[in-house]
């Protein structure tokens, strides 16, 4: 058991009360934020898709946060812990963006390179980001302001907990999961986000014919992504058996997609390329509901 939050940080700080630096503009009282567990609360740990890794914002990002976070950042009602949402929290996309438009969810937006580029290129579409790294959210806001886009909203939340709660059925046109944490050690792979169970949640929020786009530069995770898509009866892999990968241990199956033309080469992907890794794309198309 743990006190108040998980303490498994991939680079990270302990997620307890005063140990977490707060971004500018967030109201606190006695060092705690709205939605925090009462001091001393004990509850069972659960596997998270992300771990909150907050730190003090540098002055330039703090100023951007103060000036623009209200425009882009959604502050939900919280459950127990920083990255949870309350059980009664719901998002209405039309109310959120002030219009009805095709909606894409990016899971793990990092510093916003991908989603801001997409929002700038497609002003007729709306984009929702889920991220738990507050400095990354601040950088996303800074990029959105610089690009002059208003069709992005970002929420600090753990998608594994928040997605089943906050979005209704068939409300998204696309879901992007680009370069999720690979949890490289074999004993940690059960923590990977892309799983048979999570696929069902993604299928629930996608409209018929909507796409779940995935990418990773870890080979074994790419095979896992492909297998999850092909094992889920609610998705079709339009590239099954095509473009066999010579490094695939089952090359006769293929199943990898061409690089999604809307996926930009981010700094994160560049670091993988420099380390000798190459990205694999996978796509699942939501089959029609009966």
Quote the radius of gyration of the chain (alpha carbons, Å): 19
Residue 124 among the catalytic residues: no
Residues 109/130, Cβ–Cβ less than 8 Å: yes
From residue 78, how far is each of 39, 136, 197 by CA, in Å? 16, 20, 24
Strands of the 152-156 sheet, one edge to the other: 73-74, 152-156, 126-131, 103-107, 172-178, 206-216, 280-286, 235-236
The answer to whether 267 touches 113, Cβ cutoff 8 Å, is yes
- β-strand pairing of 2-3 with 42-43: antiparallel
- Choose, from 181, 245, 248, 281, the residue flagged as catalytic: 181
The tally of CA atoms less than 13 A away on the side-chain side of residue 67 is 11
Q: Using DSSP bridges, classify how beta strands 235-236 and 280-286 pair: parallel, antiparallel or unpaired.
A: antiparallel
Q: Looking at the annotation, which residues are catalytic?
A: 181
């Amino acid at each position: 058991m743990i006190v108040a939050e998980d303490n498994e940080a991939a680079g990270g700080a302990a997620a307890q009360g005063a140990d977490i630096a707060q971004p500018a503009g967030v109201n606190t009282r006695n060092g705690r934020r709205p939605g925090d567990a009462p001091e001393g609360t004990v509850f069972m740990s659960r596997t998270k898709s992300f771990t909150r890794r907050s730190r003090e914002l540098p002055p330039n990002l703090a100023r951007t946060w103060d000036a623009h976070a209200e425009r882009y950042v959604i502050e939900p009602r919280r459950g127990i812990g920083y990255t949870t949402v309350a059980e009664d929290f719901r998002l209405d996309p039309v109310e959120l963006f002030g219009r009805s438009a095709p909606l894409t969810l990016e899971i793990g937006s990092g510093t916003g390179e991908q989603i801001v580029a997409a929002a700038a290129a497609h002003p007729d579409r709306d984009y929702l980001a889920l991220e738990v790294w507050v400095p990354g959210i601040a950088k996303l806001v800074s990029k959105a302001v610089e690009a002059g886009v208003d069709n992005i909203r970002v929420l600090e939340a753990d998608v594994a907990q928040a997605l089943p709660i906050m979005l209704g059925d068939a409300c998204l046109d696309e879901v992007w999961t680009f370069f999720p944490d690979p949890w490289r050690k074999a004993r940690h792979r059960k923590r990977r986000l892309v799983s048979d169970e999570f696929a069902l949640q993604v299928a629930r929020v996608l409209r018929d014919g909507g796409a779940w786009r995935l990418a990773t530069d870890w080979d074994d995770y790419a095979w896992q992504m492909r297998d999850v898509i092909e094992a889920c009866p609610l998705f079709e892999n339009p590239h099954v058996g095509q473009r066999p990968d010579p490094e695939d241990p089952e090359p006769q199956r293929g199943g990898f997609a061409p690089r999604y033309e809307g996926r930009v080469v981010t700094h994160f992907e560049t670091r993988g390329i420099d380390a000798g890794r190459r990205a694999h794309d996978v796509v699942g198309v939501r089959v029609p509901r009966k």
